[in-house]
Structure 1
Amino acid sequence: MSITIPGFTTRPIGVTDGIELNAAVGGEGPALVLLHGFPETHLMWRHVAPVLAEHHTVICPDLRGYGASSKPEAVADDTYSKRTMAADIVALAGALGFGRFALVGHDRGAHVAFRTGLDHPNRVTHLGILDIVPTLDTWKVLHGVSAAVGFHLYLMAQPPGLPEQMIAGSADAFFGHFLDTWSTGSDAIPADVRAEYLRACRNAVASIVADFRATATVDIEHDQADHDAGNRLTMPVTVVQQDWGRQLGFDAAATWRPWATDLRHFTTRAGHFMAEEAPEDVATLILNLLKR
C-alpha cells in the first residue's frame, strides 16, 4: 500500500502543456501550498499538513522533476529554473481555484517559494522559508573547508553527463547519505518513508541534477537581477533555519534582511528535516505566520 497523507486526496494536476504536478490536497478554507525539499517528496509534510488542514485548503505537490510529477528533459537552461518551477506553483493553485495563496517551502521547495514570492507578489499572501538562504547568498557563504557540507551543490553544478552517471551508479547511497546525516534523530524518517524517498529519487536522477544545476547558473542570474533592482519580498515572511551562522561563520538573519520588508527569523534545534523531526513546532510557526 502506498504511503499517503491522512485525509488528503492525491492526484496529478496539469499546470502547463505536458507538465503535471502530483499533488495531495486536503482541508477547506484559504489556500496554503507546502513545497518539499531534497531528497524527499510531498510526504515530508505528512505530520504538518493535517494540522494546517483544519483551517486551510492545504496543497502539497511534488515539485517538477521530483516524486510522481512530470520530469521533462532539461532541453533549455530554464527548464528547471526556479522561475519556471514557481510558475508551476501559481498554475497549480489556479487550477484548484485559488488566485492567491500562502506558500511555505523547505530546502529546494524553499528556493521555489522564494522565487514565487519575488515573481508573483500579488499571488503570495504569506511566505515561509525552511532552512535555506537565497541562491545568490548560498554561493557567497560557502567557502573554505566549511563548504564541504555542500559538496553535492558543486557536483551537480557540473556540465551534463558525469554527475548523472556518478549519482545513478550509486543512487541509494548518494541520496541516503543526506537522509541519514542531515537528521538529528534516527526515528524522524521511518524505514517505509525512507524507502519511498529513495525510490522516488532513484527514478529522477537526471531531473534532480538539472534542478541543482539551474541553481548554479540561471537561478543566480535571476537573483542577481532582483538584487540589483532592489526588489524585495513584500508579504509577511518567516524564515526558520538551523544555526547556519555557527556552522558556516555568517549571520543568517542579517543575510535575509535585505530581501524582505516584513521578516521574522527563527533558529531551530531540530535538524534539516524539521517538519518531520519537530512537526508541532513547524505547524505552530506556520500558523503564526498566517496570522500576520
Structure 2
Amino acid sequence: MFEGFQLEMISLPEATLRVRYGGSGPPLLLLHGHPRTHTTWHKVAPLLARSFTVVCPDLRGFGRSSKPTNPHDYGAFSKRAKGRDCVALMESLGFDKFYLAGHDRGSYAAFRTALDHPSRVLKLAVLDGVPILEALERCGARFASKWWHWFFYAQPDKPERAILANPEAWYGGDAEAMGRENYEDFQAAIHDPETVIGMLGDYRAGIELDHLHDQKDRQAGRKLQCPLHVMWSLQDDLEDLYGDVLAVWAPWAEEKVTGAGIDSGHHMAEEAPVELACALEAFFSGR
C-alpha cells in the first residue's frame, strides 16, 4: 500500500497521530470514517499524489493514533478537538493552508475544521455526511431505524461490550474487496478495545457536544468561507433520508455548494476509488 509514501507517528500538542503522506504539489488532507483507519484511502491517495501532497492520518481515537485518557471527556473526542489536530498536523508538515476532504465521521471533523479555522482550509469536500445538527433535527422514525447505531453507540458501556464480543460479526469487511493490507489494518483496529472505545467516543461526542457547536455557529450566522463540494454514495441512504443533499448544506456555506452522487456503496474510497479520485482532483484543481 501507499508506494512512495512515508509512515510516521507525529506528536502534536494534544494527540499523537499515525500519518501516511506522500506526493508533491498543494497539500491535501484526507480524513477517514468509522470504523476504518487511514488505510481506507490506499487506492485513492496514490492517484491524488500525482497532483497533491496527500496526508492521511488516523483520526484521534481511531486506528493507531492516541486516544483520550478519559472516555467521558467528550470535549477531547469532539470534532472541534480533531479540527485542532488537523491544523497542528498540517503545520508540523509545513503547511499553513490546505485542501481538505472527509468521509463519514471524518466529514464531521473536516466540516468543523473548516468552520473553526477558515484561514487554513482552502476548499472542503464532504463525502457521505450532513452536519450533525441537521441530522439530529431531521431525525424521525426512518432515520432512527436506519441509523440506530448513532444512538446505540452513544450509550455507556454496552456498545463496546457488544462489539468486542465478536468484532467480525459486528463490522463485517471483506479482504478481497478492501485489499488485504487495508483489511488487516481494519481488523487490528476493531479488535483493539482502546480503539473501539475511541471510535465510540466520536459518536458520544456527536450526541453530547458536537451538535451544540453546530447550533451556536448557526445562531451566530457563521458559515463556511471556502468552496464546498459534497459527494454521496448512490447505493447508500443519504438521498433517501434527506432528498436534496446539496440543499441541506446550502445554508452552511457562503458560496454555492456543488456536488453529485457516486455510484458506490458507503465506503466509496474502496469501492469507487478512480471515480472518487477524479472528482476530488477536479474540484481541488479548479477544473
Does the CA contact (< 8 Å) of 1:142 and 1:150 recur in 2?
no
* Pair 1:43 & 2:34 matched: no
Confirm whether residue 247 of structure 1 aligns to residue 244 of structure 2.
no
Q: In 1, Cα distance between the equivalents of 2:157 and 2:140?
A: 26
Residue in 2 that maps onto 1:169: 165
Deviations 1:148-192 (A, max 9, x none): 22121110111x22222222222222222xx47xxxxx9531355
Give the match for residue 218 of structure 1.
209
TM-score with structure 2 length normalisation? 0.92
Contact 2:223 2:253 in 1 (8 A): yes
SS at match of 1:97: coil
Contact 1:242 1:267 in 2 (8 A): yes
What is the rounded CA distance, in whole Å, between the counterparts of 2:118 and 2:191 in structure 1? 35
| SS state at 1:267 partner | strand
Taking the aligned partners of 2:248 and 2:115, their CA distance within structure 1 comes to 16
Is 1:202 the counterpart of 2:191 in the alignment? yes
Partner of residue 147, structure 1: 144
Query: Equivalents in 2 of 1:193, 1:50: separation in Å?
Result: 14
Letter of the 1:189 counterpart: M
Q: Secondary structure at the match of 2:243?
A: coil
CA distance in 1, matches of 2:239, 2:203: 25
CA RMSD of aligned residues (A): 1.8
Q: 1:236·1:289 contact (CA, 8 Å) conserved in 2?
A: no
- Structure 1 gaps of 5+ residues are 181-185
Q: Distance in 2 between matches of 1:69 and 1:170?
A: 23
What residue in structure 2 maps to residue 117 of structure 1? 114
Match of 2:63 in 1: 67
Matched, 1:281 2:285: no
**Is structure 2 residue 44 aligned with structure 1 residue 53?**
no
Post-superposition CA distance 1:133-153 (Å, at most 9, x none): 111112233321453221211
Determine the C-alpha separation between the residues in 2 that align with 1:113 and 1:68: 20
Which of 229, 250, 257 is matched with 2:250 structurally?
257
Q: CA offset at residue 113 of structure 1?
A: 0.2
Q: For residue 236 of structure 1, what is the amino acid of its counterpart?
A: P
> Structure 1 75/143 Cα, relative in aligned 2: closer, same or farther at 3 Å?
closer
Q: Secondary structure at the match of 1:23?
A: strand
In the other structure, the counterpart of 1:183 is none
What fraction of aligned residue pairs are identical, expressed as a percent? 40
Count of matched residue pairs:
280
Q: Which amino acid aligns with 1:228?
A: Q
- Counterpart-to-counterpart distance in 2, 1:280 and 1:192: 19
Deviations 1:19-60 (A, max 9, x none): 210000101221110111111111111111111111221110
**TM-score, length basis structure 1:** 0.90
Does the C-alpha gap of structure 1 residues 94 and 245 become closer, same or farther in structure 2, counting only changes over 3 Å? closer
**Secondary structure of the corresponding residue to residue 67 of structure 1:** coil
> Distance between the aligned counterparts of 1:249 and 1:230, measured in 2?
23
Separation in structure 1 between the aligned mates of residue 180 and residue 27 of structure 2, nearest angstrom: 31
Partner Cα separation in structure 2 for residue 125 and residue 9 of structure 1: 24
Bigger Cα displacement from structure 2, 103-112 vs 149-158 = 149-158
Structure 1 runs of 4+ aligned residues shifted over 6 Å read: none
Partner of 1:157: 154
Distance in 1 between residues matched to 2:170 and 2:268, nearest whole Å: 21
- Secondary structure at the counterpart of residue 111 of structure 2: helix
Gaps of 5+ in 2: none
Q: Is the CA contact (8 Å cut-off) linking 2:263 and 2:272 kept in structure 1?
A: no
Q: CA deviation at 1:256?
A: 0.8
Inter-partner Cα distance in structure 1 for 2:262 and 2:51: 25
